C-alpha cells in the first residue's frame, strides 16, 4: 500500500473513533404526499379520463387542501373519487401508478445505509393493499417494516414523518418523546410539538441530530 494512502486511511480511522456513537433509530415514514406523489398521480389521470369535465387541465400544484378532489374535480364526494381511483391506473389502482418525489428514494437509501430502520406507516383503501406492497417492491424501498393502518400511533418509532394534520396531531399527543416531523405541504399547517421539514435533506438533518 503506498505510504500516502496509508496515512489517509489512518486519518479516517481516527476521525471515526472521535465521532459520537450513532443511535440506530426507528423512522416511521408515511408514503402519500411524502414519498409518493399522490397529487401528480391523480390529476394526471383525471385530465386523461375526463378531458371535458373542466375548462382546464388540473396540476398537482392546484392541490392546497385535504380531500381536494371534491373541490377541484367533478366528483361530488370522496367516495365517488375512490370508485374511480380503484382502477384508474390501467386497470390497477391509482396507488400502483404513483411516481416517487424527487430525492425521496435516495434519502431513504441513505438513511437505511446509516443503519436506521425504515418503518412504513401508510393509510390505504382496502383495494390498494396489494398495489402498495407491489409499489414498495418495484421502487426498491429499503423498509424493514410495513404497516397499512389508520391509527399510526399504534407503532412506536423514534422519528415520524407525515403530511397529514390529523396524523401529526395524533402522533405528537401519543408519542411526546418522539420527534414528529411535519413534511410542510400546502394542505397542512403547523402542529404544536411537531418539527417542520421542507424537504428530504431537512429530514435527514433531523434524523442525524436525533441519532447522536
Ligand atoms: Mg400522507
**Dist CA 96 CA 186 (whole Å):** 24
State how many domains the chain has: 2
| Grid coordinates of 111 | 438513511
Clarify whether residues 58 and 122 are in a common domain.
Answer: no
Answer yes or no: is 17 within a domain. no
- Classified as helix, coil or strand, 177 is coil
How many angstroms separate the alpha carbon of residue 185 from the centre of ligand 1?
Answer: 10
**Average pLDDT score over residue span 91-119:** 97
Clarify whether residues 87 and 166 are in a common domain.
Answer: no
**DSSP H or E run through 147:** strand 145-148
Clarify whether residues 144 and 191 are in a common domain.
Answer: yes
The CATH number linked to 150 is: 3.40.50.1000
Answer yes or no: is 169 within a domain. yes
Q: Above 80 in pLDDT, residue 136?
A: yes
Please state the pTM of the whole predicted model.
Answer: 0.89
Q: Above 50 in pLDDT, residue 16?
A: no
CB contact at 8 A, 148 and 32: no
Q: Above 50 in pLDDT, residue 103?
A: yes
**Average pLDDT score over residue span 71-95:** 96
**Dist CA 104 CA 109 (whole Å):** 9
Q: Above 50 in pLDDT, residue 15?
A: no
How many angstroms separate the alpha carbon of residue 22 from the centre of ligand 1?
Answer: 28
Clarify whether residues 29 and 133 are in a common domain.
Answer: yes
Clarify whether residues 165 and 182 are in a common domain.
Answer: yes
How many angstroms separate the alpha carbon of residue 66 from the centre of ligand 1?
Answer: 10
How many angstroms separate the alpha carbon of residue 212 from the centre of ligand 1?
Answer: 28
Q: What are the percentages of helix, strand and coil residues in the chain, rounded to 5?
A: 45, 15, 40
**Dist CA 167 CA 165 (whole Å):** 5
Q: pLDDT value at position 1?
A: 38
How many angstroms separate the alpha carbon of residue 3 from the centre of ligand 1?
Answer: 52
How many angstroms separate the alpha carbon of residue 30 from the centre of ligand 1?
Answer: 5
**Average pLDDT score over residue span 79-92:** 96
How many angstroms separate the alpha carbon of residue 33 from the centre of ligand 1?
Answer: 5
Tell me the HSE value of 11 on the side-chain side, using a 13 A CA sphere: 6
Summarised one tens digit per residue, pLDDT across range 172-204 is 999 999 999 999 999 999 999 999 999 999 999
Answer yes or no: is 18 within a domain. no
Clarify whether residues 114 and 92 are in a common domain.
Answer: no
How many angstroms separate the alpha carbon of residue 130 from the centre of ligand 1?
Answer: 18
Contacts 24+ apart (CB under 8 A), 190-199: 191/165, 194/168, 197/161, 199/103
Characterize 93-111 residue by residue with b for buried, 16 or more Cβ atoms within 10 angstroms of its Cβ, and e for exposed. bbbbbbebbeebbebbeeb
Q: pLDDT value at position 22?
A: 86
Clarify whether residues 47 and 93 are in a common domain.
Answer: yes
Q: Above 70 in pLDDT, residue 127?
A: yes
| Grid coordinates of 143 | 423498509
How many angstroms separate the alpha carbon of residue 83 from the centre of ligand 1?
Answer: 20
Amino acid at each position: 500500500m503506498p505510504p500516502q494512502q496509508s496515512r489517509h486511511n489512518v486519518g479516517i480511522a481516527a476521525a471515526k473513533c472521535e465521532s459520537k456513537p450513532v443511535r440506530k433509530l426507528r423512522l416511521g415514514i408515511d408514503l402519500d404526499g411524502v414519498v409518493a406523489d399522490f397529487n401528480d398521480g391523480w390529476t394526471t389521470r383525471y385530465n386523461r379520463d375526463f378531458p371535458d369535465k373542466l375548462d382546464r387541465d388540473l396540476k398537482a400544484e392546484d392541490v392546497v387542501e385535504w380531500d381536494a378532489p371534491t373541490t377541484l374535480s367533478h366528483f361530488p364526494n370522496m367516495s365517488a373519487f375512490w370508485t374511480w381511483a380503484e382502477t384508474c391506473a390501467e386497470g390497477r389502482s391509482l396507488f400502483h401508478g404513483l411516481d416517487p418525489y424527487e430525492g425521496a428514494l435516495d434519502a431513504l437509501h441513505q438513511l437505511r445505509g446509516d443503519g436506521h430502520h425504515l418503518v412504513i406507516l401508510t393509510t390505504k383503501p382496502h383495494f390498494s393493499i396489494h398495489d402498495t406492497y407491489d409499489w414498495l417492491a418495484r421502487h426498491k424501498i429499503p423498509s424493514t417494516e410495513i404497516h397499512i393502518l389508520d391509527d399510526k400511533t399504534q407503532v412506536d418509532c423514534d422519528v415520524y414523518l407525515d403530511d397529514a394534520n390529523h396524523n401529526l396531531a395524533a402522533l405528537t399527543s401519543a408519542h411526546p418523546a418522539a420527534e414528529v416531523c411535519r413534511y410542510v405541504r400546502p394542505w397542512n399547517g403547523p402542529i404544536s410539538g411537531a418539527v417542520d421539514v421542507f424537504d428530504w435533506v431537512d429530514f435527514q438533518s433531523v434524523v442525524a441530530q436525533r441519532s447522536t
